[in-house]
Structure 1
């Protein structure tokens, strides 16, 4: 009797790729949530106050509140996109997002989630080797250190 061995990657590798793509999709969607928050804040704000973006009626901290609101809404979105465990990715993503926000200008911080959520998904995947997790974390720390040092020189 013949047995056929498929040379396809294991199912866990396929699930990991799907998990990373879904987490990246969440990172793409969440800035739109933040823009929605900014529009809502602009609509509900008092026109007599000057905001962070000048005298346009936005509260001074609307952008910051939008950042944190998108983090809070990440868990339900990740769950909806079938990233499991969604709570772990949502809990780890700020560790990638906050340094990126601190080191980047506003347009670059909008795309931070595209990288932060897949990185958090990779680091929180149960069956990933610690060497791979450590490599991802080390590369991220090196990138942040390089960005911080280049910002001080420039």
Structure 2
């Protein structure tokens, strides 16, 4: 019996044994870096866009489309970056993060939108953490819902 318990402990990878606080900080760092993807894409398109081809209203529509495409490109690039920073499990965090990013993008003002990854990826890490109890996950989700409610109320 004791030998089987020891075997079970050794089968878990060392990266998965990392402390939750380390995973949350790494996810926050990755989310902050992922914010640079849409900003970089926006800067590249701004530099490459010929103003004479934008029409009467300027390039605002083109830049808005570039910002949207850049945000979703950041979502696609999330898993490799989270995996690089040793956030384990990386797939559930990358899949859950858009569910936290989209409300922030829709409800928040511009400064908060620019650092949305700083909030969304750690929340996704906590919610998908295998060690966190259901009460802990419920508390994280409740706090995020409260944050979204406060953002919605501040806009009306």
Name the TM-score, length of structure 1 as normaliser. 0.81
Is residue 80 of structure 2 the alignment partner of residue 79 of structure 1? Answer: no
Contact 2:27-2:122 at 8 Å conserved across structures: yes
- The whole-number CA distance in structure 2 between the counterparts of 1:91 and 1:13 is 21
Greater share of helix: 2
- The whole-number CA distance in structure 2 between the counterparts of 1:40 and 1:62 is 10
Q: Which residue of 2 aligns with 1:95?
A: 99
Is residue 72 of structure 2 the alignment partner of residue 64 of structure 1? Answer: no
Shift of 1:14: 5.6
Shift of 1:51: 2.3
Larger RCO (CA under 8 A, 6+ residues apart): 2
Is residue 33 of structure 2 the alignment partner of residue 33 of structure 1? Answer: no
Instruction: Give ranges in structure 2 of 5+ residues lacking alignment.
Output: 1-15
Name the TM-score, length of structure 2 as normaliser. 0.80
Contact 2:28-2:117 at 8 Å conserved across structures: yes
* Residue correspondences, number: 137
Q: Which residue of 2 aligns with 1:140?
A: 144
Contact 1:45-1:59 at 8 Å conserved across structures: no
Contact 2:42-2:70 at 8 Å conserved across structures: yes
- The whole-number CA distance in structure 1 between the counterparts of 2:146 and 2:35 is 25
Instruction: Give ranges in structure 1 of 5+ residues lacking alignment.
Output: 1-11
Is residue 124 of structure 2 the alignment partner of residue 120 of structure 1? Answer: yes
Is residue 30 of structure 2 the alignment partner of residue 22 of structure 1? Answer: no
Shift of 1:84: 1.2
